[in-house]
Amino acid sequence: MWFRKRTDKDFRTEVESHIRLEADRLIAEGMPPADAEFAARRAFGNVALVREKFYESRRWLWLEQLTQDLRYGLRTLRKAPAFAVAVVLTIALGVGANTAIFSLMDEVLLRSLPVHNPQALVFIETEGTAGSSGAPPYPCFTRLRAETSAFSGIAAFATDELRIEVEGKPEQVMGQVASGNYFELLGMKAAAGRLMDASDEKLNPPVAVISDRYWRSRFGGDPGVIGKTFSFRKQAFTIVGVTPAEFWGLEPGRPIDITMPISTERNLLADSGAWWFSAVARLNPGAPVTVAQSQTNAVFQSFIADSRQPAEMIRQYFHHLALRPAAQGLSGLRTRFSKPLYALMAIASLVLLMATANIANLLLARGISRRREFAIRLATGAGRMRLVRQLLTEILLLFGLGAISGLLFARSGVMALELLFAQGRRPIIVETNLNWRVLAFTMTVAVAAALMAALFPVLRAFNTDPEEAIKEGQSRTSESRGSATLTRTLVAFQVALTLILLVGAATFVRTLSNLRDVNLGFQNEDVLTMSVELPDGYAQPDKSIEFWNQTLAAVREIPGARTAGLAIFTPLSGRDRGAQIQVRGYEPASVNDTLIRINHITEGYFETLGTELLAGRLITEADAKGSPKVAVINESAARKYFANRDPLGQSIEFLKGRKVDSAYSIVGVVRDTKHMSLREPVPPFAFLPLRQPRDSERRVTLAVTSMLPNGQMSFLQPIRSRIAKIEPRALVSEVLTIRGQVDSTLLTERILSQISTAFGLLALTLASIGLYGVLSYHIGQQRQSIGIRMALGASPSSVALNVMRQSGVVIAAGLLCGMPFAYLAARAAESMLWGVKSTDPMIYMAGIALLSVVGFLSAGLPARRASNIEPSEALRHG
């Protein structure tokens, strides 16, 4: 056993026995017994010293001292519970905020895919000046597989929300089609059953693999799920296996439920003009990326040369193939959230700094009152190092307790954020967990903060002069001039930090409110929308139009329903459709100018949203099969294609390839409504009647308003049951109000403004507590001198004024120092802002005004107390 603890008592017995034996020996040699004992002791030397050495030689001494210090620390904390609770809470908030944000960062920005050697994975993407657009069409992909040697495998995959039927009931899942070698390439083993392999691409029989998440949520983790079937596009797929729990797919935030062989999309596979999937490849060990890059690009260039794409399209979208690191999966989530997350991390660090400064001040004040204790301990022989160690142990204890409670705070905070992310039409699913990185981060942050907070108290402990401290007497504790400056500097520092946080909060709050004030182009946000998807077997447009007619009629009959309409998608839903057009009398300068957004709608749609008609008429029930094809365009389209002309009566010709495929004559112009984002200008739009479709769309959005304010949600059940009566296999999903939809597009702005406001106010509270504490403390210290001044004729009001002036100086110094940093922070955040500039004085004024008022208020009480000092009392009691 390596841990062999010998007791002190055992050692003492040995020493005594030694002396006994030596004395025996001396007596045997003829010494008188009385002298022998003494001589034996003398020969032994200093018994106490030897025992001390023995004590110190023990391996666990430090642990013993640590437990001693901890016990002592806990005892002192228990004697000052208010102090302890205040400090632990402050640290918990500071550390908790940092841990919460870091665990999100860890999940969104730092985590690698849970697959075999993710570093060797790359995505193959087409790139041009307009950005990247996924993998090249499947025929080119097949050539890449055959004609490159740098990869051990290449796999294609595409994800989409799919309607499937399980046990005859429709449901919506996050679906994926993937090459047969997809899982093998990722190096994955099935959690149950088997995963797909290349032979499954034959679809004989069709098989599918489900995710662990879906397995648990849909099938309750039933092991009998293997062998079950579901139907997708009239085909029965047999579930053959479950993917490992940690694998969610290659796109972070969008977990896959079901994976099917890519051959399920057999129509797309042959299409050499369809850009619809992503490609992931594994580099051979030792194969340089540059070689792989030039191999793939060579294949692509020969493919694109044959494609007869216009040169401009090639330059903008299909210029070359690039290999992108795939270790962290597709970058959508990272691109969207990396800036906001860094901003939040910066805010959280400022809050922690703030908390640390507050605690440093509290510790300093406490250190002053404990000066005597330290002095006495020094005088009775404690080493200074031992004292410092004691102090550090106490501070680390506080921060340790704070960090543990902070972890709990962080958990609930992160869960709230996860819920926010999971809202909206396309929920983002992140699941943070307490992994070693998060724990290591929390520990590092807590220890660093503890050391910062401990710096001043420890320095003071080093400089304690026992004689001085004891001489200063029992009842009074005094403070040197230097430490008064120190505590004030700390408060000024807090004021500066608070200013930065308040300015940050002001910019984000303004951004959010500016975006909320953005003219959406429609009046009603209290519109209930839901996606309705028809089952297979509605390939005939007539059949589905019949269904939509019945549905609209049924919904309009629901009591309380005011208006109802249908559209393929609604504003800000994140869905988008485009088509190529030509307009007589308009000369496009580039390919982009021929692109127009299209939506198919019914009568009632614009009425439901409250979109203003600017000219002509809206689409009616009569715009159906057999009547002339009509279109309504938005302002942008009118401005762009009919600059100085009247668009009414003109026509839009839709192109397929280079030929005109259909023409719609314009009957109306409506107000622009925001499309993908509140920040972007509205693109040109053409609204076509749903009953005069250009293509068949089985998935349509139903929009309804209520006569009662906020009554729209009560329609959900009646609508569901009415639709089920018409077609039981129709799938109703993505139920959401337009307001909710707008909110979900403002997700990052909402998170930023809420968190920065909460933290700004927290900082303000801490700063005011800091200022109050320091001023009260100073007044306590200066009681005697204030008393003397008043005895000599100073008026109470001048004393109060003096205190106010002191606090004014501290606040002004803090504001002055904080300003440049607040400006830098606002400038760094500028790309996230909307309608606010870092040079806008308003965002600073608010913070400065708030801090001044709060500073004034928190100085008021101590000032009053100072002016109430009774000179005779103060002088008598000191």
CB 101, CB 340: distance < 8 Å: no
| Binding region for other proteins (CB under 8 A) out of 18-26, 478-486, 532-540, 811-819 | 18-26
CB of 12 to other proteins, least distance (A): 11
- Residues in region 352-391 near other proteins by CB under 8 A: none
Interface residue with other proteins among 7, 9, 17, 97 (CB under 8 A) is 17
CB of 54 to other proteins, least distance (A): 6
Here the tokens at position 795 are 């008026």
CB of 382 to other proteins, least distance (A): 23
Residue 847 identity: G
CB of 30 to other proteins, least distance (A): 8
Nearer residue to other proteins within complex by CB, 57 or 627: 57
CB of 35 to other proteins, least distance (A): 9
CB of 20 to other proteins, least distance (A): 6
Here the tokens at position 704 are 């309804």
Nearer residue to other proteins within complex by CB, 21 or 419: 21
| Binding region for other proteins (CB under 8 A) out of 15-23, 144-152, 283-291, 667-675 | 15-23
DSSP string, 258-291: EEEEGGGGHHHHT-TT----EEEEEEPTT--HHH
CB of 345 to other proteins, least distance (A): 48
In angstroms, rounded to a whole number, what is the distance separating the alpha carbons of residues 16 and 11? 9
CB of 11 to other proteins, least distance (A): 8
Instruction: Give the DSSP H or E segment for 706.
Output: strand 699-706
Helix (H, G, I), strand (E, B) or coil at 730: coil
Interface residue with other proteins among 8, 21, 289, 543 (CB under 8 A) is 21
Interface residue with other proteins among 14, 160, 546, 830 (CB under 8 A) is 14
CB of 48 to other proteins, least distance (A): 10
| Binding region for other proteins (CB under 8 A) out of 8-16, 447-455, 753-761, 842-850 | 8-16
In angstroms, rounded to a whole number, what is the distance separating the alpha carbons of residues 364 and 370? 10
Interface residue with other proteins among 25, 625, 645, 725 (CB under 8 A) is 25
CB of 14 to other proteins, least distance (A): 5
CB of 32 to other proteins, least distance (A): 11
Size of the site for other proteins (CB under 8 A): 26
| Binding region for other proteins (CB under 8 A) out of 23-31, 461-469, 554-562, 862-870 | 23-31
DSSP 707: S
Nearer residue to other proteins within complex by CB, 18 or 437: 18
| Binding region for other proteins (CB under 8 A) out of 17-25, 399-407, 617-625, 631-639 | 17-25
Q: Which residues lie closer than 8 Å to 869 by C-beta, 6 or more apart?
A: 779, 783, 786, 787, 790, 799
In angstroms, rounded to a whole number, what is the distance separating the alpha carbons of residues 258 and 265? 15
Report CA-CA distances (Å) from 687 to 550, 672, 739: 22, 12, 22
Nearer residue to other proteins within complex by CB, 14 or 431: 14
- Asked if residue 1 binds other proteins (CB under 8 A), the reply is no
What are the backbone angles phi and psi of residue 530, rounded to the nearest 5°? -155, 150
Could you count the other beta carbons within 10 Å of the beta carbon of residue 9?
A: 8
CB of 383 to other proteins, least distance (A): 20
In angstroms, rounded to a whole number, what is the distance separating the alpha carbons of residues 835 and 839? 12
CB of 62 to other proteins, least distance (A): 15
Nearer residue to other proteins within complex by CB, 15 or 192: 15
Interface residue with other proteins among 7, 8, 9, 15 (CB under 8 A) is 15
CB of 25 to other proteins, least distance (A): 7
- Residues in region 28-67 near other proteins by CB under 8 A: 29, 31, 39, 43-47, 49-50, 53-54, 57, 59
Nearer residue to other proteins within complex by CB, 21 or 236: 21
**x/- map, 788-827, other proteins, by CB under 8 A:** ----------------------------------------
Interface residue with other proteins among 8, 20, 60, 553 (CB under 8 A) is 20
Q: Is the dihedral of CA 491, 496, 501, 503 positive or negative?
A: positive
Nearer residue to other proteins within complex by CB, 36 or 486: 36
- Residues in region 626-645 near other proteins by CB under 8 A: none
Q: Which residues lie closer than 8 Å to 761 by C-beta, 6 or more apart?
A: 505
Question: Which residue, 185, 144, 157, is CA-closest to 263?
Answer: 157
Report CA-CA distances (Å) from 314 to 130, 141, 321, 658: 10, 17, 11, 17
How many Cα atoms sit within 13 Å of 617 on the Cβ side? 11
Nearer residue to other proteins within complex by CB, 31 or 470: 31
CB of 33 to other proteins, least distance (A): 14
DSSP string, 611-653: PPEEEE----TT-STTSPPEEEEEHHHHHHH-TTS--TT-EEE
Residue found by looking up tokens 């120092």 in the block? 817
CB of 57 to other proteins, least distance (A): 5
Helix (H, G, I), strand (E, B) or coil at 713: helix
- Residues in region 601-630 near other proteins by CB under 8 A: none
CB of 28 to other proteins, least distance (A): 8
Nearer residue to other proteins within complex by CB, 47 or 434: 47
DSSP string, 205-217: S-EEEE-HHHHHH
Nearer residue to other proteins within complex by CB, 47 or 817: 47
Nearer residue to other proteins within complex by CB, 51 or 339: 51
Nearer residue to other proteins within complex by CB, 27 or 615: 27
Nearer residue to other proteins within complex by CB, 51 or 694: 51
In angstroms, rounded to a whole number, what is the distance separating the alpha carbons of residues 357 and 633? 60
In angstroms, rounded to a whole number, what is the distance separating the alpha carbons of residues 504 and 554? 50
In angstroms, rounded to a whole number, what is the distance separating the alpha carbons of residues 850 and 466? 44
DSSP 336: H
- Residues in region 72-101 near other proteins by CB under 8 A: none
Nearer residue to other proteins within complex by CB, 17 or 444: 17
Nearer residue to other proteins within complex by CB, 11 or 834: 11
Cross-strand pairs, 163: 172
| Binding region for other proteins (CB under 8 A) out of 22-30, 107-115, 191-199, 584-592 | 22-30
Nearer residue to other proteins within complex by CB, 40 or 764: 40
In angstroms, rounded to a whole number, what is the distance separating the alpha carbons of residues 811 and 868? 24
Buried b (16+ CB within 10 A) or exposed e, 70-88: beebeebbeeeeebbebbb
Interface residue with other proteins among 18, 336, 366, 516 (CB under 8 A) is 18
Question: Which residue, 123, 105, 153, is CA-closest to 330?
Answer: 123
CB of 60 to other proteins, least distance (A): 12
Q: Which residues lie closer than 8 Å to 422 by C-beta, 6 or more apart?
A: 428, 429
Interface residue with other proteins among 22, 125, 257, 479 (CB under 8 A) is 22
In angstroms, rounded to a whole number, what is the distance separating the alpha carbons of residues 130 and 97? 38
Here the tokens at position 251 are 């796109």
Here the tokens at position 641 are 């294609």
Q: Which residues lie closer than 8 Å to 200 by C-beta, 6 or more apart?
A: 180, 207, 261
Nearer residue to other proteins within complex by CB, 31 or 747: 31
DSSP 568: S
Q: What angle do CA 401, 407, 409 make, to 5 degrees?
A: 105
Interface positions with other proteins (CB under 8 A): 11, 13-15, 17-18, 20-22, 24-26, 29, 31, 39, 43-47, 49-50, 53-54, 57, 59
